[in-house]
Structure 1
Amino acid sequence: MKKLFVLFMLCSFAVFAEPININQADAETISKALTGIGPKKAEAVVQYRKEHGDFKTLKDLENVSGIGEKTVQQNEKNILFGDSAPAAAEKIDKPEKPEKPQEPKKPK
């Protein structure tokens, strides 16, 4: 049981990671906080941000060389764009279907 607990703790440390502000974090912080992004990709994120300005959406991150949709999806809960909630919470939901107008009831 003790071994299982230790194994669980070692495997799940990333689950408890704090979200980072992708527009303020340095390359070291990015590489430590995000899954699938090592030092080279993290440096590419910082360089892209310097050349093109702040990231506004998760889709913007896919413009960085070496970072694709899968990597972004794996990390969406840990990415902030400002002092707000994680990027995953900022996704734009599909608009709801408008309700059908009720037809007036015909008198009997």
Structure 2
Amino acid sequence: MLAAVNLNTATKEELMSLKGIGNSKAEAIIEYRKANKFKSTEELKNVKGIGDSIYKKLEKELTVSNTKNK
């Protein structure tokens, strides 16, 4: 299994590697985290264009942390 994608540190390319996340959604995630660091993966649903269905498909592939160590 691949390492989980950290919503607080992932590059645009890493975000786009997730199923259902294209260029515009990756940019929206990055803009959201600039204003509000993610405290939980569930906050991804607050990003424009990402709802429950996309979140449910991705939740096991996501993590949040404030460090770049992992």
Which TM-score bucket, shorter chain as reference?
A: 0.7 to 0.9
CA distance in 2, matches of 1:64, 1:17: 24
Matched, 1:36 2:28: no
CA distance in 2, matches of 1:59, 1:18: 18
CA distance in 2, matches of 1:77, 1:31: 16
Gaps of 5+ in 2: none
Structure 1 stretches of 4+ moved >6 Å: none
Q: Please give the root-mean-square deviation of Cα atoms over the aligned residues, in Å.
A: 1.4
Deviations 1:40-89 (A, max 9, x none): 1011000110012x111232111100000111110011101127xxxxxx
Structure of greater Rg = 1
Alignment coverage as a number of residue pairs:
66
Q: What percent of counterpart residues are identical?
A: 38
Higher relative contact order (CA 8 A, sep 6+): 2
CA distance in 2, matches of 1:46, 1:60: 13
Matched, 1:22 2:4: no
Gaps of 5+ in 1: 1-15, 84-108
TM-score (norm 1): 0.56
